Amino acid sequence: MVLQNHHCGVYGQALYVFPVCEGGTVEFKPSEKQRAMGATSHRNKSISKSAEKFREEAILARQVKHGEEVNDKGWKVKGFSLMTALKTCAAKQDLYQGSKIHADIRSSGLLEKDTYLGSTLVSMYAKCGALVRAQQVIDELPVRDVVSWTALIAGYVQHGHGKEALGCFHQMQSEGLSPNAITYSCILKACGIMQDAEMGKQIHDEIVSQGLLERNVVLGNALVDMYAKCGVLTKAHKVLDELSTRDVISWTALIAGYVQRGHGKEALGCFHRMRSEGLSPNAITYACTLKACGIMQEVDMGKQIHDEIVSEGLLEKNVVLGNALVDMYAKCGVFTKAHKVLDELPTQNVISWTTLIAGYVRQEQGRELLAVLRECGARASLQM
């Protein structure tokens, strides 16, 4: 006997045949169609889960639309959907849409039921740069956790507000919450912004006592960067040497620290050592090393890096690297090459021209400076 499935509006033969045996029992046997589908059963399970999720959201939408009472499961589905939407708003920097979703959340009372949703809301405002609003949201949350505080701290750090980030960190700890690795990484950046090496050292001690450096290269890099930005370069180098795993970000943080303090020789030494460990520079590494070449008047080394950058096609999409090249050649007094590089840049900005002009000023090349100023003015008038 073959069953027909018409009940749900899907027509076709049933997947199973149920022959009636002697004694009135029913023997289950898969049909040919079912056996053929056996190989795709795993894939079908995923599709079924997606369909079930879609069905739950459709039911929820109907309940909300008609003012029906939504059960706990419904609230969870709605909360999940809103979190996804808030993350999209954060990625697109869409503060307007994010605010509308916030209004929906407030009217539905979801923040009282979903801690993760509150953290996602804080993160959305923080990533959009609406830090006052993010602070207001976290202040109004019925329950705050390390995730919500870390989202706000990360937002403050992202926009250069180190003092506010440190204040949030202290308040979080006063509420009895323990930082996680992401919190520590963000707060180390705040210490770097504020040049607060003492606070950074306290965080360093906490991280070591918890054994976090042994398995987290991001934290190690944040420590190197913090000490480098605070000018404690000996400590930064020591931390890097003791890291169980080093990467291009670790080395670039240290190179940038040396360059920032005018230590070109040490920066170039780090660059060569990084290469000896089999690590390839990124655009930021190249930009920092070009500055070191300018400090040391190492035009030959700068030319080698220039060739590498061109061979990797980096100049086509990175104006910062182009400006670093102009600056390096200008500081080395090779103005013909500096001017040629600037002329060949696919994108120029005011920094490109200012860098070349500053080079002429340093070398007291008055006549050439006047020529460059006239050229710069002529190009500016053409673009108006």
Structure confidence at residue 77 as a pLDDT band (50, 70, 90):
very low
Residue 345: other Cβ atoms inside 10 A? 18
**pLDDT above 90 coverage of the chain, percent:** 56
Distances (CA, A) of 90 to 86, 109, 130, 188, 280: 6, 22, 11, 23, 32
Examine the pLDDT at 295 and tell me if it is beyond 90.
yes
Three-state SS for 311?
Answer: helix
Examine the pLDDT at 265 and tell me if it is beyond 90.
yes
pLDDT digits (tens, 9 = 90+) for 142-168: 999 999 999 999 999 999 999 999 999
**Going by C-beta distance under 8 Å and a sequence separation of 6 or more, which residues neighbour residue 294?**
264, 302, 327, 328, 330, 331, 332
Supply the pLDDT for residue 105.
Answer: 84
**Going by C-beta distance under 8 Å and a sequence separation of 6 or more, which residues neighbour residue 360?**
330, 335, 366, 368, 369, 372
Residue 12: other Cβ atoms inside 10 A? 9
Supply the pLDDT for residue 96.
Answer: 93
This prediction's pTM: 0.75
**pLDDT above 70 coverage of the chain, percent:** 73
Report the alpha-carbon distance of residue 155 to residue 167 in Å, rounded: 13
Residue 5: other Cβ atoms inside 10 A? 12
List strand residue ranges (DSSP E) for the chain, in order: 2-4, 13-17, 29-30
Q: In what helix (H) or strand (E) does residue 75 lie, and over which residues does it extend?
A: helix 72-92
Residue 155: alpha-carbon gap to chain centroid:
11
Supply the pLDDT for residue 163.
Answer: 97
Average pLDDT of span 304-309: 96
pLDDT digits (tens, 9 = 90+) for 80-121: 678 888 898 899 999 998 898 898 888 888 888 778 889 999
Report the alpha-carbon distance of residue 107 to residue 102 in Å, rounded: 9
Report the alpha-carbon distance of residue 316 to residue 345 in Å, rounded: 8
Please, which residues bridge with residue 26 across strands? 20
Average pLDDT of span 316-334: 92
Supply the pLDDT for residue 215.
Answer: 81
pLDDT digits (tens, 9 = 90+) for 198-213: 999 999 999 999 999 9
Average pLDDT of span 39-60: 45
Supply the pLDDT for residue 222.
Answer: 98
Distances (CA, A) of 148 to 79, 95, 178, 329, 332: 16, 18, 12, 47, 49
Examine the pLDDT at 296 and tell me if it is beyond 90.
yes
Q: What is the amino acid identity at position 373?
A: L
Average pLDDT of span 345-362: 77
Supply the pLDDT for residue 379.
Answer: 52
DSSP 23: G
Look-up of token digits 């230590």:
263
Supply the pLDDT for residue 186.
Answer: 98
Supply the pLDDT for residue 64.
Answer: 38
pLDDT digits (tens, 9 = 90+) for 280-289: 999 999 999 9
Q: Which residues of 15-30 are buried (b: 16+ CB within 10 A; e: fewer)?
A: eebeeeeeeeeeeeee
Average pLDDT of span 344-371: 71
pLDDT digits (tens, 9 = 90+) for 226-250: 999 999 999 999 999 999 999 999 9
Q: In what helix (H) or strand (E) does residue 305 lie, and over which residues does it extend?
A: helix 299-311
Report the alpha-carbon distance of residue 360 to residue 153 in Å, rounded: 43
Q: Across all residues in the chain, what is the average pLDDT?
A: 80
Average pLDDT of span 27-52: 47
Supply the pLDDT for residue 264.
Answer: 98
Residue 122: other Cβ atoms inside 10 A? 27
Report the alpha-carbon distance of residue 85 to residue 75 in Å, rounded: 15
What are the boundaries of each domain within the chain? 1-38
